Amino acid sequence: MDRIVFAINSLAGGGAERVFACIAGHSRERLSDRELIVALLDDEPAAYALPEWIRVVQFDARHRLLPSVTALRRLILAERPTALLSFLTRANLAAAWAVRGTDTRWVASERVDTYAHLGRGKHGAISRGLVRIAYPRADSVVAVSGGVADGLVARFGVERDRVSVIPNPVDVEHIRRQAADESPIALPSRFIAAMGRLVPNKNFELLLRAYADSAVAQDLVLMGEGPEGERLQSLAAALGCADRVHFVGFAANPFAILARAEFFVLPSNAEGFPNSLVEAMACGIPVVSTNCASGPSEILASAPREQITGTRETPAGIIVPPDDVAAMRDALRRMDNTALRYSMAGAATNLVQEYTVSRAVHSFWDIIDAKA
């Protein structure tokens, strides 16, 4: 029987892991007489379940590259799959060496802005060097956004004709079912929503400073946990808006909260693909987003971020320059307009249809099967 392998570090949580599980779980109709094997490089509790018809091979590489290479290489030599799809940088690096000298077609999927994600210092430099060696060897590379694709070509030497862009899928019907549920927490009568891990790159400091300066009528509900939590709460107190900013932590059903917000704000410095932005639009609310790399400009304005200067009002929301408190403040004030929000909400609801699960699944399999 012909075999296809999907490989990822683990299913321990996160946007890339959720997308991986979604693509794998909806792949049955593309398999026919083939078997799908999922290789998990690290032995960690899974946050996302896979169907029973998928064979799962569990390794224990403990977040290290060399054991990941060894484990995946052993699997490839034993199973001789026609194709290997890898997700996330370490799994991609392991795949590059695991398939060497075999007939296995390798498709790498990059879910982040690779250069920014690998960080600075000696470790970052080594990691970037490994990516420059490995990624150009892939038969095809799938990027989550045009910005990520451009970075792979410009910084890592991947040939342009080997790169395809497939945005993250959004299960709109599932989100809307959850959005109709009762909110898991008590909510203010009017509020703005934000969501994400509380880390510097998400730049919730920008949002807090702009919100405090805007004097808008809505409260601010911030969903998420992370190492910046205490500092951000202290900042809200120092800015005099602590009584109107609600740090609610992790929300098991964030969509029931998003659906009741007047609009959503994404203040990030960088994104691979902003899942939360599309999920908010699936809940039927307009958005305000920084023009960060990468994804927001492509989603909201169908344009590369370089083509947008200053603040841009789009049918589904407002794009503002990154890390610009005044521009974000003005956008928050602009969204305090019921007619504008209503119009943008309708456009947002229509726009998310471009990110359906079926479209993403078929796009991935078209690439996997291109020369298989």
Q: What is the pLDDT of residue 335?
A: 97
Q: pTM for this one?
A: 0.79
Measured between its terminal Cα atoms, the distance across the chain in Å is 14
Whether pLDDT at 56 is above 80: yes
Q: Confidence band (pLDDT; 50, 70, 90) for 119?
A: low
| Token digits of residue 54 | 């998928």
Dihedral of alpha carbons 180, 183, 19, 196, sign: positive
Retrieve residue 103's tokens: 């007939």
Structure confidence at residue 161 (pLDDT): 94
pLDDT at 173 over 60: yes
Inter-residue contact 226 to 195 (CB < 8 Å): no
Q: Please give the single-letter amino acid code of residue 323.
A: D
In one-letter notation, the amino acid at residue 112 is V
pLDDT value of position 118: 61
Per-residue confidence (pLDDT) for residue 145, from 0 to 100: 87
| 55-77: average pLDDT | 97
Strand, helix or coil for residue 355: helix
Residue ranges of alpha helices (H) inside the chain are 15-25, 65-79, 89-98, 114-117, 121-134, 146-156, 172-179, 204-214, 229-238, 254-258, 275-282, 296-301, 325-334, 338-351, 357-368
Mean pLDDT of 185-190: 96
Task: Determine the Cα angle at 307 with ends 146 and 274, to 5°.
Answer: 40
Binning pLDDT at 50, 70 and 90, where does residue 128 land? confident
Q: Are 352 and 172 in contact (CB under 8 A)?
A: yes
Question: Which pLDDT value is given to residue 304?
Answer: 87
Which residues on neighbouring strands pair with residue 247, listed in sequence order?
A: 222
CA–CA gap between residue 259 and residue 306 (Å, rounded)? 31
Question: Which range (7-21, 57-71, 172-186) has the least confidence?
Answer: 7-21
245-249 β-sheet, strand order? 245-249, 219-223, 191-195, 263-266, 287-290, 317-320, 312-314
What's the mean per-residue pLDDT of the chain?
93
CA dihedral 351, 355, 358, 360 (to 10 degrees): 150
Say if residue 305's pLDDT is above 60: yes
Mean pLDDT of 174-190: 95
* Residue of 160, 158, 165, 159 lying closest to 142 (CA atoms): 165
Res. 272: pLDDT tops 60: yes
Closest-CA residue to 255 (of 231, 239, 279, 237): 279
Give the pLDDT mean for 217-242.
97
pLDDT surpassing 90 at residue 309: yes
On the question of pLDDT at 218 being above 60, the answer is: yes
Rounded Cα–Cα distance for residues 77 and 73 (Å): 6
pLDDT (0 to 100) of residue 266: 98
What's the pLDDT at 138?
96
User: How much is the pLDDT for 115?
Assistant: 64
Residue-wise pLDDT tens digits, 149-172: 998 999 889 999 999 999 989 888
pLDDT at 116 exceeding the cut of 70: no
Separation between Cα atoms, residue 211 and residue 356, nearest integer Å: 33
* Torsion over CA: 111, 117, 123, 128 (sign): positive
Query: 243-248: long-range contacts (C-beta < 8 A, 24 or more apart)?
Result: 244/219, 244/220, 245/208, 245/211, 245/219, 245/220, 246/188, 246/191, 246/219, 246/220, 246/221, 246/222, 247/222, 248/185, 248/221, 248/222, 248/223
pLDDT band at 123 (very low <50, low <70, confident <90, very high): confident
Phi, psi of 183 (to 5 degrees): -65, 140
Mean local confidence (pLDDT), 205-215: 98
Give the mean model confidence (pLDDT) for residues 359-369.
95
Q: Could you report the per-residue pLDDT of 85-107, keeping only the tens digit for each? A: 999 999 999 999 999 999 999 99
* pLDDT at 117 (0 to 100): 63
Q: How far apart are CA 361 and CA 26, in angstroms?
A: 7
Using CB atoms within 10 Å of the CB of residue 197, give its burial: 0 to 12 exposed, 13 to 18 middle, 19+ buried: middle
Reported confidence tier of residue 270, pLDDT bands at 50, 70, 90 = confident
Which domains, and CATH codes, for the chain?
3-169+356-368 (3.40.50.2000), 172-354 (3.40.50.2000)
Share of the chain above pLDDT 70, in %: 97
CA atoms of 17 and 46, how far apart (whole Å): 9
With b meaning 16 or more CB within 10 Å and e meaning fewer, what string describes 320-356? bbbebbebbbbbbebbbeeeebeebbeebbebbeebe
> Can you tell me the mean pLDDT for 54-76?
97
How many Å apart are CA 135 and CA 15, to the nearest integer? Answer: 22
| pLDDT surpassing 60 at residue 372 | no
pLDDT band at 21; cut points 50, 70, 90: very high
Write out the two tokens for 72. Answer: 């995946």
Total residue length of the chain: 372
Contact 220, 207 (CB under 8 A): yes
- What is the pLDDT at residue 191? 98
